[in-house]
Amino acid sequence: MEFRKFDSDKDVTEFVLHNTELFEPDTQLTVSEIGDGNINFIYRVGQPGGDSVIVKQALPYVRIIGEGWPLSQDRVRIEAETLQYEGSHCPDLVPTVYHFDADLCAIVMEDIGQHENLRHALIARRRLPNLASDLGRFLADTLYHSSDLHLDSHAKKELVKSYINPDLCKITEELFFWDPYCDHERNSINPHLRPYAEQLWADDALKLEVYKLKRQFLCDAEALLHGDLHAGSVFASGSGTKVIDPEFAYVGPIGFDIGSILGNFLLNYAGQANLPGDLAERRDYQAWLLDSVETLWNTFAERFYIHMREKTQDPSFNNEIYRTWYLDKLFADTLGYAGTEMIRRTIGLAHVADIESIEDPQSRANSEKLALRIGCELIMARDQIIDVEALAQRIRRIS
Amino acid sequence: MEFRKFDSDKDVTEFVLHNTELFEPDTQLTVSEIGDGNINFIYRVGQPGGDSVIVKQALPYVRIIGEGWPLSQDRVRIEAETLQYEGSHCPDLVPTVYHFDADLCAIVMEDIGQHENLRHALIARRRLPNLASDLGRFLADTLYHSSDLHLDSHAKKELVKSYINPDLCKITEELFFWDPYCDHERNSINPHLRPYAEQLWADDALKLEVYKLKRQFLCDAEALLHGDLHAGSVFASGSGTKVIDPEFAYVGPIGFDIGSILGNFLLNYAGQANLPGDLAERRDYQAWLLDSVETLWNTFAERFYIHMREKTQDPSFNNEIYRTWYLDKLFADTLGYAGTEMIRRTIGLAHVADIESIEDPQSRANSEKLALRIGCELIMARDQIIDVEALAQRIRRIS
């Protein structure tokens, strides 16, 4: 079957009914388009008031731009296979994939509609009790089991080959590691922040550290990353967490995934300094965010350490001195990539609502300055910050 | 056509005559088997007293072991394509590939018979005037043009995929980074050296550095390496140099290739301390070897720097601070991998004739101790040795 965009609700419901056994064959299903839909088409398909599933179809180009910006449809295979891989280790933390069709570039997956987008939850200052430990577990389990610590050499190299994802990696390469470090036309900069952006563009020592992180992003095939783990890729409820949208997955440096999500907690931290609402409440929430950062890292590090000790077959990597060194290295990488996430979300193309929703441009610039200061400090001091408590102290001192 | 081992001289000559236009169709050719042939079959095919070519055929297993040790025949595609890639940048430094047959797993290539194996030349204390600069140029040109400094992201990722080489990488992984650091049954240890090997096995600080280098060997996809650049893979004459046998090629850390060959110069240096012959002559040759190490690195670094400055499109990587940092990093990696080559050639499975040909076991152990001391020092001090002059001084101080 050749690629053909779903043209009607009937196409979508037939795709679901034909390829899954989730509904009786003659069930009447309704289809509604959801999601921001900048790149893909996403549909909710279900019985009114009853069960529903999500259908995602990838076009061979960026939807809102058109055929002038082609994008490999292999990304949907990568997304489906990554969800299946992640689901094999953390079934409760990702939507179940019911069907993937390579020709139609479409996935049928579990509807996680009862969960709230993490970015909205953070802006609303919700305290999600399991969030940080769920994310720490997700990171430890998915990253460990796809690394050379767990896989034999042949399996690891097959994994690298299977997840070569150049179109999507190129987007990250430019938006994270290039645009924000020069006066790029794609950047979006609050006029009140411009002097600080210009100062950053002149900071050669900072830029060298970013170039090193970029080199590592391009070359260091450590483990299968989610690749786009910002707050918008996480959905949470009072009791559970779901990580979605791994279409940027590739085999890269472990610290990139951990740093991306930690950076998002800290972007919200910077936003809380000037978001509307009671000051004491916002300060309390900032403290909760720093606690969450600590819990996330500690959960990750403890589980990753135990996996290394209990499962790693290669004795070069299963010994106390290597485990200790390696976790320290991953922490430094994490801080570096968290810093790049904070900077690119402040002066790059794609901002975050945690800060963007501060209406007054001067107040917004104050949160943006804080995000830049924390981001730069994480990058520059990533080898000196000895643990996650020292990290929290340092952030409190900056703000 | 399915794989079929050449069974007769006629098979081999027909393969040459049918697939190349090097000889008239009815030329009478003679075939002689050459090479050590542990793994592959290698034939010289030519007119008596006239032109000749080399035919190399890879079996699906290790020849001297048999079918019990299977080895992917994809290695011969990798060898042919690497020779072609290297030839596109340094045509004078590799044999020309005339034909590659994927089904028969066989290559027809230029005969470089007038050149001498570099290991034999070093043991005979020959001074090869162009050797070090040829090797520096080979390394700079092949490594630069296959790195992210030169290739766009898509081409680089295709390169990684195309050179996934798990069987051969696994051999290196074990022989370089595991066996020599434990009392492994594959090791071969001079009884006089055993106490020093035991001391090394107890050196946790050294082993941690080796594990870091192993991690980098497994993960760091920097550039297309030759992958097995020891003195036996280099042939030299008074006027020219040829690098052969890149069947271990894969996309890995640049320092691994440079370190492997520098380690071989330094293994000969250690051998010269106890090889037969006039002491003054041997000391002079050691000085020549250190000069060669300096020339090799300096040629590499100067050319690589100029390539970066003149050809690198990505401004993150084409700027003075990155170039300086990157060459320093490559130097440290180089020293580390040179150290692992020296250690594995002294207490691992495969020794080098530069030392092995010292007949008296006690004298041989003295050279072996020197090789171990230099190897350990290069690994441990790789971030402190600031340049290649400091390296030469340090080696003179050790010996």
CATH code for position A49: 3.30.200.20
Give the Å distances, CA to CA, from A153 to A145, A277, A346. 13, 53, 40
Look at residue B296 in the predicted model and tell me its pLDDT: 98
Contacts of B78 in chain A (CB under 8 A): none
Domain match, B42 and B191 both: no
Domain match, B105 and B129 both: no
pLDDT of B270 over the 70 cut: yes
How many C-beta atoms surround the C-beta of residue B38 within 10 A? 9
Cβ distance A211 to B177 less than 8 Å, yes or no, reads no
Cβ contact B299:B140 at 8 Å? yes
> CA B307, B310, B311, B314: dihedral to nearest 10 degrees?
110
Contacts of A222 in chain B (CB under 8 A): 219
Pairing of strands B223-225, A52-58: unpaired
A157 closest CB neighbour out of B166, B220, B317: B166
B25 vs B56: CA distance, rounded Å: 21
Look at residue A239 in the predicted model and tell me its pLDDT: 80
Look at residue B399 in the predicted model and tell me its pLDDT: 82
Contacts of B326 in chain A (CB under 8 A): 215
> What's the rounded mean pLDDT across residues A272-287?
97
Asked if residue B27 belongs to a domain, the reply is yes
Domain match, B14 and B91 both: yes
A281 vs A127: CA distance, rounded Å: 12
By C-alpha distance, the chain B residue nearest A326 is: B212
Cβ distance A166 to B160 less than 8 Å, yes or no, reads no
Asked if residue A360 belongs to a domain, the reply is yes
Cβ distance B315 to A214 less than 8 Å, yes or no, reads no
A148 closest CB neighbour out of B167, B218, B325: B218
Cβ distance B208 to A325 less than 8 Å, yes or no, reads yes
> What's the rounded mean pLDDT across residues A301-305?
98
Look at residue A36 in the predicted model and tell me its pLDDT: 62
Q: Tokens standing for A379?
A: 């990058």
Number of Cβ pairs closer than 8 Å across A and B? 98
Look at residue A3 in the predicted model and tell me its pLDDT: 81
> What's the rounded mean pLDDT across residues A264-287?
98
Average per-residue pLDDT for chain A: 95
Cβ distance A208 to B315 less than 8 Å, yes or no, reads no
A73 vs A3: CA distance, rounded Å: 10
Nearest residue to B90 (alpha-carbon basis) of B162, B149, B35, B146: B146
**How far off is chain A from B305, nearest CA to CA, in Å?**
17
3-state DSSP assignment of residue B349: coil
A199-219: pLDDT as tens digits:
999 999 999 999 999 999 999
pLDDT of B16 over the 90 cut: yes
| Domain closes at, from A66, A88, A110 | A110
**How far off is chain B from A146, nearest CA to CA, in Å?**
12
Cβ contact B255:B332 at 8 Å? yes
Instruction: Give Cβ neighbours of residue B15 (< 8 Å, ≥ 6 apart).
Output: B6, B55, B101, B104, B106, B108
A328-351: pLDDT as tens digits:
999 999 999 999 999 999 999 999
Look at residue B37 in the predicted model and tell me its pLDDT: 65
> What's the rounded mean pLDDT across residues B71-96?
96
The DSSP symbol for A44 reads: E
Q: What was the ipTM of the complex prediction? A: 0.95
Domain match, B282 and B268 both: yes
**How far off is chain B from A212, nearest CA to CA, in Å?**
8
- Please state the separation of Cα A24 from the chain's center in Å: 36
Question: Which residues on adjacent β-strands are paired with residue B251?
Answer: B224
Residue predicted with more confidence, A73 or B79:
B79
A222-244: pLDDT as tens digits:
999 999 999 999 999 888 999 99
Contacts of A313 in chain B (CB under 8 A): none
Cβ distance B181 to A316 less than 8 Å, yes or no, reads yes
Cβ distance B214 to A178 less than 8 Å, yes or no, reads no
Q: Percent of chain A having pLDDT more than 70?
A: 99
Domain match, B240 and B195 both: yes
Cβ distance B322 to A156 less than 8 Å, yes or no, reads no
Give the Å distances, CA to CA, from A355 to A260, A352, A359. 16, 6, 9
Cβ distance B208 to A156 less than 8 Å, yes or no, reads no
Cβ contact B139:B94 at 8 Å? no
Cβ contact A258:A330 at 8 Å? yes
Domain of residue B142 covers 116-398
Nearest residue to A292 (alpha-carbon basis) of A120, A128, A85: A128
Asked if residue A1 belongs to a domain, the reply is no
Token pair 């499109």 in the structure block, residue: B313
- Please state the separation of Cα A187 from the chain's center in Å: 20
A114-163: pLDDT as tens digits:
889 999 999 999 999 999 999 999 999 999 999 999 999 999 999 999 99
A167-191: pLDDT as tens digits:
999 999 999 999 999 999 999 999 9
Contacts of B148 in chain A (CB under 8 A): 215, 218-219
Asked if residue B1 belongs to a domain, the reply is no
Domain match, A163 and A210 both: yes
pLDDT of B207 over the 90 cut: yes
Cβ distance B170 to A161 less than 8 Å, yes or no, reads no
> What's the rounded mean pLDDT across residues B156-177?
96
Contacts of B249 in chain A (CB under 8 A): none
Domain match, B103 and B122 both: no
B103 vs B76: CA distance, rounded Å: 10
pLDDT of A91 over the 80 cut: yes
Longest dimension (CA), chain B: 65
**How far off is chain A from B191, nearest CA to CA, in Å?**
25
Asked if residue A305 belongs to a domain, the reply is yes
Look at residue B205 in the predicted model and tell me its pLDDT: 98
Pairing of strands B52-58, B40-46: antiparallel
- Give how many domains chain B has, as a whole number: 2
Cβ distance A148 to B208 less than 8 Å, yes or no, reads no
The DSSP symbol for A351 reads: -
pTM over 0.90: yes
> What's the rounded mean pLDDT across residues A27-56?
89
Domain match, B279 and B363 both: yes
A164 closest CB neighbour out of B157, B207, B314: B157
Q: Which of A72, A74, A148, A157 to mutate to test the interface with B (most CBs of B within 10 A)?
A: A157
Look at residue A122 in the predicted model and tell me its pLDDT: 98
Look at residue B63 in the predicted model and tell me its pLDDT: 75
Q: Which of B168, B211, B327, B333 to mutate to test the interface with A (most CBs of A within 10 A)?
A: B211
Give the Å distances, CA to CA, from B26 to B22, B29, B53, B382. 12, 9, 16, 58
How confident is residue A113, by pLDDT bands cut at 50, 70 and 90? confident
Look at residue B115 in the predicted model and tell me its pLDDT: 84
> What's the rounded mean pLDDT across residues B111-126?
93
Domain match, A155 and A231 both: yes
Cβ distance B322 to A211 less than 8 Å, yes or no, reads yes
**How far off is chain A from B388, nearest CA to CA, in Å?**
23
Contacts of A165 in chain B (CB under 8 A): 157
- On the CB side of A151, how many CA atoms lie within 13 Å of its CA? 24
Q: At what angle do helices B254-272 and B279-311 cross, to 10 degrees?
A: 170
**How far off is chain A from B5, nearest CA to CA, in Å?**
26
- Please state the separation of Cα A49 from the chain's center in Å: 31
A160 closest CB neighbour out of B153, B154, B160: B160
Q: Where are the alpha helices (DSSP H) in B273-316?
A: 279-311
By C-alpha distance, the chain B residue nearest A165 is: B157
Average per-residue pLDDT for chain B: 95
| Domain closes at, from B57, B92, B110 | B110
Asked if residue A336 belongs to a domain, the reply is yes
How confident is residue A101, by pLDDT bands cut at 50, 70 and 90? very high
Residue predicted with more confidence, A354 or A72:
A354
Q: What are phi and psi of B65, to 5 degrees?
A: -100, -40
B163 vs A339: CA distance, rounded Å: 33
**How far off is chain A from B157, nearest CA to CA, in Å?**
7
Asked if residue A3 belongs to a domain, the reply is no
**How far off is chain A from B165, nearest CA to CA, in Å?**
8
Q: Where are the alpha helices (DSSP H) in chain A?
A: 9-19, 74-89, 118-123, 131-145, 153-162, 166-177, 194-201, 204-219, 254-272, 279-311, 320-347, 353-356, 361-380, 388-398
Cβ distance A222 to B219 less than 8 Å, yes or no, reads yes
pLDDT of B286 over the 70 cut: yes
Q: Tokens standing for B302?
A: 């100067």
A208 closest CB neighbour out of B210, B218, B325: B325
pLDDT of B27 over the 70 cut: yes
B209-237: pLDDT as tens digits:
999 999 999 999 999 999 999 999 999 98
Q: What are phi and psi of B116, to 5 degrees?
A: -105, 145
Contacts of B170 in chain A (CB under 8 A): 153-154
Cβ distance A166 to B181 less than 8 Å, yes or no, reads no
B164 closest CB neighbour out of A157, A220, A326: A157
Cβ contact A144:A115 at 8 Å? no
> What's the rounded mean pLDDT across residues B165-174?
95
How confident is residue B17, by pLDDT bands cut at 50, 70 and 90? very high
**How far off is chain A from B181, nearest CA to CA, in Å?**
9
Give the Å distances, CA to CA, from A188 to A120, A175, A343, A359. 22, 12, 12, 16
| Domain closes at, from B110, B127, B142 | B110
Asked if residue A187 belongs to a domain, the reply is yes
**How far off is chain B from A291, nearest CA to CA, in Å?**
32
Look at residue A104 in the predicted model and tell me its pLDDT: 95
B177 vs B161: CA distance, rounded Å: 24
Look at residue A2 in the predicted model and tell me its pLDDT: 72
Cβ contact B94:B86 at 8 Å? yes
Domain match, A269 and A140 both: yes
Domain match, B279 and B340 both: yes
Nearest residue to A122 (alpha-carbon basis) of A257, A247, A262, A294: A262
Contacts of A180 in chain B (CB under 8 A): none
CATH code for position A384: 3.90.1200.10
A315-328: pLDDT as tens digits:
999 999 999 999 99
Cβ distance B317 to A215 less than 8 Å, yes or no, reads yes
Query: Which residues of chain A are at the B interface, by a Cβ-Cβ cutoff of 8 Å?
Result: 148, 153-154, 156-158, 160-161, 164-167, 169-170, 173, 177-178, 181-182, 204, 207-208, 210-212, 214-215, 218-222, 314-317, 319, 321-322, 325-326
Contacts of A181 in chain B (CB under 8 A): 316
Classify the C-alpha dihedral B243-B244-B250-B256 as positive or negative: negative
Token pair 């490594």 in the structure block, residue: B143
Nearest residue to B213 (alpha-carbon basis) of B336, B385, B374: B336
pLDDT of A44 over the 80 cut: yes
Look at residue A1 in the predicted model and tell me its pLDDT: 58
How confident is residue B15, by pLDDT bands cut at 50, 70 and 90? very high
Domain match, B354 and B272 both: yes
E strand or H helix that includes residue B32:
strand B30-34
Contacts of A322 in chain B (CB under 8 A): 208, 211
B42-58: pLDDT as tens digits:
999 999 888 999 999 99
> What's the rounded mean pLDDT across residues A63-89?
90
